[in-house]
Structure 1
Amino acid sequence: MIFTATPDGFLDLGDGRRVRCALGRSGVTPAADKREGDGYSPAGVWPIRKVLYRPDKGPPPQTELPMAAIAKADGWCDAPGDPAYNRPVTLPYPASAERMWRDEDDVYDVVVVLGHNDDPVEDAMGSCIFLHLRKPGYLPTEGCVAVAPEDMAAFLAAAKPGDAVEIRL
């Protein structure tokens, strides 16, 4: 199944239900035009790789997707030119990396890793493209797709290995 996020701020859960979502602060751009730090969500169909979750915030999500618990030292490299660009890293890391264990907000309590720019990784073409929990008020993301916790639970219950998320222009 392909779950579709549209530029008007909705995610199709595949059962006829559309839920509100937040996209990149700059909007949506063709994947070929995506650049690190530009604030765009990349248009395209992105395979679901795995689900990451904070084990201290509750039980693992209910899903058939592969899962892993986030640890306090988990990061995701977002430094163009670094050999680990767009890959998980252990913090502290010598180059720039997104901290996965966040205390300032709950947006990474549950994260669906999307297969954008990961097979193969192309330098500076965008990293850390996730489906994650939204900030209050559906504030724009840095390039991800973000949904409410209850909508993430519905998404995870419906998603199966081999599914994907499409971000439409």
Structure 2
Amino acid sequence: MEKTRRSRAIQSTIITVRPAPGQKSRALVQFGAIVVPAAIGRSGRTVLKREGDGATPIASMKVLSGFRRGDRPTRLQTPLPIRRIRGGMLWCDQPEDPNYNRLVKAPFRPSHEEMKRQDGLYDVCLVMDWNVTSRARNRGSAIFFHLIKPGYEPTAGCVAVHPRDMRRLLPFIRKGTVVRVL
């Protein structure tokens, strides 16, 4: 039975994120036969994503690449290109900056997120193509598929899962896998 489930998961190229009943910041992530709980934006989901609104975009987003925290022991099995996060790696979230929604290096004065976070959220962090390949100011930045905070606390607009569930999903995620938020 487990082998059959795995086969169906392998054939799927779409990760579906659908709202969980009762809480706008909770969701269910499905990839083939694998279904796991997730946290999404504190404001729920939206079709009109704006920078800082705390909402997860309702969209189909391709997975482009990933990051892993290099100084913490994590063995990842995935065909996805994964870069090691190093000190000084930042993600620009300042809409007026030419580097908006891009990886940048410290020192960097405009608003940004640290990629090497102390809370472990980005120990495994997948970059989804929301406003990345075709950028527009204020459409939202740093929309990632990453690890949860304890208690599945809401995100700022990302999709977040438990580390054990990320390990289950990673072997099937490759560049171009679509994350579809309904």
Tell me the TM-score normalized by structure 2. 0.88
Q: What percent identity do the matched residue pairs reach? A: 42
What is the aligned residue count?
164
- Map 1:98-137 to 2 at 5 A: 98-103=113-118, 105-137=119-151
- The two structures, once aligned, show a CA RMSD in angstroms of 0.9
The structure 1 segments of at least 4 consecutive aligned residues displaced by more than 6 Å after TM superposition are none
Q: What residue is the counterpart of 2:14 in the other structure?
A: 2
Of 80-89 and 58-67, deviating more is 58-67
Q: Alpha-carbon deviation of 1:156?
A: 0.6
Bigger CA radius of gyration? 2
Tell me the TM-score normalized by structure 1. 0.94
Q: What residue is the counterpart of 2:29 in the other structure?
A: 11
Gaps of at least 5 residues in structure 2 are 1-12, 21-26
**What amino acid does structure 2 have at the position aligned with 1:24?**
G
CA–CA distance in structure 1, aligned partners of residues 148 and 35 of structure 2: 16
Q: Alpha-carbon deviation of 1:161?
A: 2.7
More RCO (CA 8 Å, sep 6+):
1
- Map 1:84-163 to 2 at 5 A: 84-103=99-118, 105-163=119-177
Q: Alpha-carbon deviation of 1:164?
A: 1.3
CA–CA distance in structure 1, aligned partners of residues 148 and 96 of structure 2: 29
Q: Alpha-carbon deviation of 1:157?
A: 1.0
